[in-house]
């Protein structure tokens, strides 16, 4: 891509201004002033936020920045669960509802802060019984049920490092993550439930741990939807049996601010996913501050983030941020189109949701099925709408604002990443919103759009999105691969390269265009082309494969694969479905190609690198740009 690009946006400067009462009552009443305050004393800004939380011992220094390594709240001691639970149990939130779980058929389970506290303590004591100790890695591969949240918090309670793997990943993806983290325990469930059908998670775990020597035990939550699960006693133990006979109190482990809290794997530009490492102190402060200020969360709010806890959005904005704040969090094992296209709106109506946080793909799906669905429900409880994971195109913004928010609710389009740990760019509640633009860097963050050399682009132009200064919830390293961590800070001089292309508007708002690298965002999920390619070539019929993201009006992108077959194999529709099924079984349903073309040759550079850019341009009927390195 060029150094920067000019963008023509004449006639598109349209803003929506929320009712002034939003600003009047917001935690951050004046964005510009808050941002100036931050710029005037950057560390002081974060220190002020940190003082709102409880620490066993406060820091000697707010930040130690040794490029590209940051230590936040140096020498401070804490446990994030003391802030998520104990703090509320000791005050007026003791009997406040912490968690409302909804199943697909409308079943409900409710946990007050006190109840959640005791469940977490009991499970934490159960883990201790299994020999899990501070620093051990625990893999959590579960459906979206309260026990998943309990398992995460229980790990944090005893200082074990959780690695949550999204339940939609397949055998190889799970195996790779278990082995990379050298997890001691896997916590799973017999099944996940999706569109009325059960998905056997435990069976996938059984296969995934065959070549995983670090695993000592598997904890199984038995949902017994179809039939009781049979446990192999030597290896497997029931989730609730583990909690029997233990105390409902568990002293929180004293963690250093820089001790790891969790590892979460994300796709990179090679076939192996990156274990993004987040630590206790800075992550807590970053997610606490953003949950409070970006969602403008009040004690009376009923907050629902539709993300699965297996993604960073679930970590930061289902579990840690909202519980640190003391929110009432809704967790729904629900999909937007089952039993019908009103399922989400029914939940909003039934539970009186006030803050709703979802993904553009879901919004575009709702647009397609029509406004008669949301119009059947009373959505008047809604106060604030959020979006995350991919660009919220202007049409989707307007529909969301008009049909769901009734021209009343601010929409916070939040840009951030697994690596950033917390929201970084948005339009703060009450500020004018510009459709198509995520907004500006939040107070506490310095973002910019720059050329490859790191020079800021002129307003109105596009380039690479970067973050200039360290921020508390930033990743600290890539697990066992610090080299990959350093790449983030060494690609463009003196800043963190996000990997996204963006446009800096003349008004300072930032528009996110999409990835600049080999990562495809499909329905808001992050998938590496290399991962899909290596899954394809692991099939006996495939000699070579190249994968691209093809723009799709609903999912943002879909996965398209170009495949060269080995000698002796013939292209056929049957082989296409075999290959798709093969990827499904290896990586999981989220990584399945939607289209496969059989090829005799792939466009390559003279040094043998596949030029995906050329394939993509051809697919989209556009100019492939510079092809001088293309081999004949
Ligand atoms: O390309 C950007 C896109 O999602 C990527 C990060 O993906 P992941 O680490 O899985 O985290 C997703 C949830 C935080 C980014 O590099 N992305 C995320 N939010 C937005 C977005 N693109 C446009 N607008 C957003 N609001």
Best mutation site among 287, 526, 551, 555 for ligand 1, i.e. most ligand atoms within 8 A of its Cβ?
526
What is the average per-residue pLDDT within 607-612? 80
Q: Is the CB of 417 under 6 A from ligand 1?
A: yes
pLDDT at 3: 55
Both structure tokens of 451: 């050329």
Q: Encode pLDDT of 472-483 as tens digits.
A: 999 999 999 999
Atom of ligand 1 nearest to the CA of 307: 13
pLDDT at 12: 58
Both structure tokens of 505: 């508007």
Look at residue 628 and tell me whether its pLDDT is greater than 80: no
Q: How confident is residue 1, by pLDDT bands cut at 50, 70 and 90?
A: very low
Q: What is the pTM of this model?
A: 0.93
CA 241 – ligand 1 centroid, Å: 39
What is the average per-residue pLDDT within 28-44? 98
The fold for domain 117-256 equals Rossmann fold (3.40.50)
pLDDT at 625: 78
Both structure tokens of 179: 């082995």
Q: How confident is residue 224, by pLDDT bands cut at 50, 70 and 90?
A: confident
Q: How confident is residue 5, by pLDDT bands cut at 50, 70 and 90?
A: low
Q: How confident is residue 2, by pLDDT bands cut at 50, 70 and 90?
A: very low
Hey, do 117-256 and 519-620 end up sharing a CATH topology, with the first three levels equal? Answer: no
Largest CA distance in the chain: 72
Ligand 1: which residue has its CA nearest to atom 24? 391
Q: Encode pLDDT of 184-203 as tens digits.
A: 999 999 999 999 999 999 99
Look at residue 387 and tell me whether its pLDDT is greater than 60: yes
CA 519 – ligand 1 centroid, Å: 11
Q: What angle do CA 510, 516, 518 make, to 5 degrees?
A: 145
Say what percent of the chain tops pLDDT 70: 98
Look at residue 533 and tell me whether its pLDDT is greater than 60: yes
Ligand 1: which residue has its CA nearest to atom 4? 389
pLDDT at 458: 95
Both structure tokens of 284: 């807590």
Ligand 1: which residue has its CA nearest to atom 7? 417
What are the residues whose beta carbons fall under 8 Å from the beta carbon of 437, sequence distance 6 or more? 413, 427, 505, 509, 510, 511
pLDDT at 467: 98
Q: How confident is residue 228, by pLDDT bands cut at 50, 70 and 90?
A: confident
Cα separation values, 445 from 37, 317, 472, 612, Å: 12, 18, 10, 34
Look at residue 589 and tell me whether its pLDDT is greater than 60: yes
Q: Is the distance from CB of 463 to CB of 492 less than 8 angstroms?
A: no
pLDDT at 10: 47
Q: Is the CB of 438 under 6 A from ligand 1?
A: yes
Q: Encode pLDDT of 251-282 as tens digits.
A: 999 999 999 999 999 988 777 899 999 999 99
Q: Is the CB of 143 under 6 A from ligand 1?
A: no
pLDDT at 236: 97
CA 422 – ligand 1 centroid, Å: 11
Q: Encode pLDDT of 494-508 as tens digits.
A: 999 999 999 999 999
CA 545 to chain centre: 28
Q: Is the CB of 500 under 6 A from ligand 1?
A: yes
Look at residue 626 and tell me whether its pLDDT is greater than 80: no
CA 390 – ligand 1 centroid, Å: 5
More confident residue, 437 or 534: 437
* CA quadruple 447, 452, 455, 461: dihedral sign: negative
pLDDT at 486: 97
Reduced to 3 states (helix: H, G, I; strand: E, B; else coil), residue 592 is coil
pLDDT at 198: 92
Q: Encode pLDDT of 84-134 as tens digits.
A: 999 999 999 999 999 999 999 999 999 999 999 999 999 999 999 999 999
pLDDT at 4: 61
pLDDT at 7: 59
Closest CA to 287 of 147, 410, 156, 142: 156
Look at residue 388 and tell me whether its pLDDT is greater than 90: yes
CA 550 – ligand 1 centroid, Å: 17
pLDDT at 227: 77
Look at residue 8 and tell me whether its pLDDT is greater than 70: no
Q: Is the CB of 163 under 6 A from ligand 1?
A: no
Q: Is the CB of 515 under 6 A from ligand 1?
A: yes
Host H or E run for residue 237: strand 236-238
CA–CA gap between residue 229 and residue 232 (Å, rounded): 10
Q: Is the distance from CB of 256 to CB of 268 less than 8 angstroms?
A: no
pLDDT at 9: 54
Domain positions in the chain are 117-256, 519-620
Ligand 1: which residue has its CA nearest to atom 13? 389
Superfamily of domain 519-620: ANL, C-terminal domain (3.30.300.30)
CA–CA gap between residue 37 and residue 39 (Å, rounded): 6
Q: Encode pLDDT of 128-173 as tens digits.
A: 999 999 999 999 999 999 999 999 999 999 999 999 999 999 999 9
CA 322 – ligand 1 centroid, Å: 20
Host H or E run for residue 260: strand 260-266
What mean pLDDT is reported for the chain?
94
CA–CA gap between residue 166 and residue 527 (Å, rounded): 13
Ligand 1: which residue has its CA nearest to atom 2? 390
Q: Which residue has the tokens 């019908």?
A: 340
Ligand 1: which residue has its CA nearest to atom 6? 417
Ligand 1: which residue has its CA nearest to atom 8? 417
């Amino acid at each position: 891509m060029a150094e920067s690009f000019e963008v023509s946006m004449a006639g598109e400067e349209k803003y929506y201004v929320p009712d002034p009462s939003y600003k009047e009552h917001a935690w951050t009443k004046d964005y510009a002033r808050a941002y100036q305050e931050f710029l005037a004393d950057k560390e002081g800004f974060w220190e002020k936020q940190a003082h709102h939380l409880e620490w066993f011992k406060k820091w000697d220094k707010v930040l130690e920045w040794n490029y590209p390594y940051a230590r936040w709240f140096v020498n401070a001691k804490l446990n994030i669960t003391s802030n998520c639970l104990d703090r509320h149990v000791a005050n007026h939130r003791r009997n406040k509802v912490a968690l409302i779980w909804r199943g697909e058929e409308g079943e409900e389970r409710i946990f007050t802060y006190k109840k959640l506290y005791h469940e977490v303590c009991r499970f934490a004591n159960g883990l201790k019984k299994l020999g899990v100790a501070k620093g051990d890695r625990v893999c959590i591969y579960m459906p979206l049920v309260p026990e998943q949240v309990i398992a995460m918090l229980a790990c944090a309670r005893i200082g074990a490092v959780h690695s949550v793997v999204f339940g939609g990943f397949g055998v190889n993806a799970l195996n790779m993550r278990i082995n990379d983290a050298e997890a001691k325990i896997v916590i799973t469930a017999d099944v996940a439930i999706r569109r009325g059908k059960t998905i056997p998670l435990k069976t996938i775990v059984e296969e995934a741990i065959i070549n995983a020597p670090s695993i000592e035990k598997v904890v199984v939550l038995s949902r017994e939807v179809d039939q009781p699960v049979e446990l192999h006693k030597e290896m497997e133990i029931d989730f609730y049996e583990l909690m029997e006979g233990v105390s409902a109190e568990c002293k929180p482990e004293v963690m250093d601010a820089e001790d790891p809290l969790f590892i979460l794997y994300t796709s990179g530009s090679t076939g192996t996913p990156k274990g993004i490492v987040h630590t206790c102190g800075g992550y807590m402060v970053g997610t606490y501050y953003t949950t409070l200020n970006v969602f403008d969360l009040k004690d009376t709010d009923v907050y629902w983030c539709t993300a699965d806890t297996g993604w960073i959005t679930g970590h930061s904005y289902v579990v840690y941020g909202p519980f640190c704040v003391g929110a009432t969090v809704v967790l729904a094992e629900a999909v937007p189109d089952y039993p019908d296209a009103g399922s989400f709106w029914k939940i909003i109506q039934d539970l009186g949701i006030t803050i709703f946080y979802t993904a553009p793909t879901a919004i575009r799906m709702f647009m397609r099925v029509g406004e008669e669905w949301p119009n059947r429900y009373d959505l008047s409880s809604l106060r604030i709408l959020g979006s995350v994971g991919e660009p919220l195109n202007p049409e989707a913004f307007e529909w969301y604002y008009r049909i769901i928010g009734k021209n009343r609710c601010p929409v916070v389009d939040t840009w951030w990443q697994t690596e950033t740990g917390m929201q970084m760019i948005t339009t703060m509640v009450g500020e004018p919103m510009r459709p198509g633009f995520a907004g500006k860097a939040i107070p506490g963050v310095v973002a910019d759009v720059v050329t490859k050399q790191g020079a800021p682009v002129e307003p109105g132009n596009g380039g690479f999105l970067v973050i200039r200064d360290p921020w508390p919830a930033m990743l600290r390293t890539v697990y066992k691969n610090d080299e990959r961590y350093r790449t983030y800070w060494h690609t463009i001089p003196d800043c963190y390269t996000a990997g996204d292309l963006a446009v800096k508007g003349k008004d300072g708002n930032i528009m996110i265009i999409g990835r600049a690298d080999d990562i495809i965002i499909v329905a808001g999920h992050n998938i590496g082309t290399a991962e899909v390619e290596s899954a394809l070539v692991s099939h006996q019929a495939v000699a070579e494969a190249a994968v691209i993201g093809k723009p799709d009006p609903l999912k943002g992108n879909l996965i398209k694969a170009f495949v060269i077959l080995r000698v002796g194999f013939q292209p056929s529709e049957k082989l296409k479905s075999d290959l798709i099924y093969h990827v499904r079984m290896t990586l999981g349903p989220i990584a399945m190609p939607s289209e496969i073309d059989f090829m005799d040759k792939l466009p390559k550079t003279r040094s043998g690198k596949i030029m995906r850019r050329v394939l993509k341009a051809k697919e989209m009927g556009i100019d492939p740009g510079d092809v001088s390195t293309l081999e004949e």
